[in-house]
Amino acid sequence: MNKADPPGKPGIAEALAPSASSGGIAAPWSDTLEARVAHLLGAGENVVLVTVISRTGSAPRDAGTRALYTQAGPEGTVGGGLLEARAMEAAAQSLFMGRSSQVVCDMSGFTGDSDMICGGGMEVLCEVLLPHQGPLFALAAQALRGGVGGIWVVDVNREPPVRRLYLNSLPENANMPPDADMLPDAALPPDARLDIGPVRTLLAQRKGKAGLVEEGGCRIYVEPLAAPPVLLLCGGGHVSLEVARLAHACGFIIDVADDRPEFSNIERFPMARRCHVLPAYENLVETCGVGRYHYVAIITRGHSFDRETLAQALVSHAQYIGMIGSKSKRDQIYAILRAQGVPASELAAVCCPIGLTIDAETPQQIAVSIVAELLAVQAGTLTRLRFDE
């Protein structure tokens, strides 16, 4: 047991351990910021969580944007430029002094040679996190892994800021106390609560988005606990490798599946959360845990594998399914699947050929077209950007 894990409380090690799945390999901390924070706090480090808590005008990043400042320096970004420099300078000072701070950057008044001419403002919280908060972030990481929703609530008027986590339910993989008669709340860190009902109205004021709200004359920062989108790459070839690099940089969790061990391993895909080796891509949906929040990119090494993975992905009702290939290949595969009883309406929802139409040729260019399409799905702009004939 880690020294930061009280008896009976959700453990940091459990939050960071690979999920049990056939053929899966987990890369540490590649899935969520919460897991990364839990690891650092569990190692006894103080960490500064840098969060944009409010934005006005045309500032570069919205509330909810997060980065870290660790003993090794910054991890992530909150917008770049002068704002980034100010925020990270304040974060470094907070880490050194052991005291949280808030940075307000008003970009509406800058003129002349300044690079801050976008005409907006941002408020950034540099929140010092201490090792005793490790179990809280470990629990949040467990909740994200288990698909349990929740809300972060931070009272930014106090020093140190008071951070609490509210969950819909206890994650299945959370440790329960040995006394079966104890209430589930007894398994939680003291700064965590079950039932988000009491704070749901706070998030509703923000229409489900992160930001500041007024409560009893105090400013409260609320942020939904939401996992990053998962991109499952079916096929581990040259194009998939470039897609993985770019999609990971854009905030996607990366899972990879291939029938060949040499094309699906953590050495080839160091940014991946899990790498699955599935002979003939059997049991793809079950093994990879594909659900309606997944993005699935079918980029295998053959038409038969493409057809097989597509048929399985359609059953999962993933949020996005794209398949590489020409329109003639698409028509042939669709004809076979329709003959097998797949509804035409389900096939019509598949993006094939995958990627936005930019006449991409190289693996890197194709990756740009695919990841741009994924981001368009997230933004709800795919319909007007895609130009199928």
Which sequence spans correspond to the domains of the chain? Answer: 1-15+131-227, 47-129, 230-385
Q: Taking a C-beta distance cutoff of 8 angstroms, is the pair 368, 384 a contact?
A: no
Cα dihedral value 183, 184, 188, 193, nearest 10: -100
* Residues in the chain, total: 389
C-alpha–C-alpha distance, residues 201 and 208, integer Å: 10
Instruction: Report the pLDDT value the prediction gives residue 67, as an integer from 0 to 100.
Output: 93
Average pLDDT, the chain: 84
Q: Interhelix angle for 363-379 vs 238-249, to 10°?
A: 40
Q: Taking a C-beta distance cutoff of 8 angstroms, is the pair 121, 150 a contact?
A: no
Question: Is the pTM for the entire model greater than 0.75?
Answer: no
| pLDDT classification of 187: cutoffs 50, 70, 90 | low
Position 21 pLDDT exceeds 70:
no
Task: Please give the helix or strand (H or E) that residue 151 lies within, else none.
Answer: strand 150-155
| Range 133-160 average pLDDT | 91
Q: Taking a C-beta distance cutoff of 8 angstroms, is the pair 100, 125 a contact?
A: yes
Position 287 pLDDT exceeds 70:
yes
Instruction: List, for residues 201-211, the tens digit of each pLDDT value.
Output: 999 999 889 99
Instruction: List, for residues 290-326, the tens digit of each pLDDT value.
Output: 987 899 999 999 899 999 999 999 999 899 999 998 8
Residue type, 50: V
C-alpha–C-alpha distance, residues 198 and 97, integer Å: 34
Instruction: Report the pLDDT value the prediction gives residue 108, as an integer from 0 to 100.
Output: 58
CA distances (Å), origin 135, targets 172, 185, 367: 16, 14, 38
CA distances (Å), origin 116, targets 82, 104, 108, 120, 126: 7, 13, 8, 9, 21
Least trusted range by pLDDT, from 99-103, 192-196, 225-229: 225-229
CA-closest candidate to residue 140, choices 16, 242, 43: 16
- Alpha carbons within 13 angstroms on the beta-carbon side of residue 1 total 11
The CATH classification of domain 230-385, taken from the options 1.10.1740.110, 3.40.50.2300, 3.40.50.720, 3.40.50.300: 3.40.50.720
C-alpha–C-alpha distance, residues 63 and 83, integer Å: 14
- Give 258's strand partners: 277
End-to-end CA gap in the chain: 59
Three-class secondary structure of residue 88 per DSSP: helix
Q: Taking a C-beta distance cutoff of 8 angstroms, is the pair 230, 296 a contact?
A: no
CA-closest candidate to residue 295, choices 345, 341, 353, 228: 228
C-alpha–C-alpha distance, residues 324 and 299, integer Å: 6
Alpha helices in the chain (DSSP H): 12-16, 33-42, 81-97, 134-146, 197-205, 238-249, 284-288, 303-316, 327-339, 344-348, 363-379, 382-385
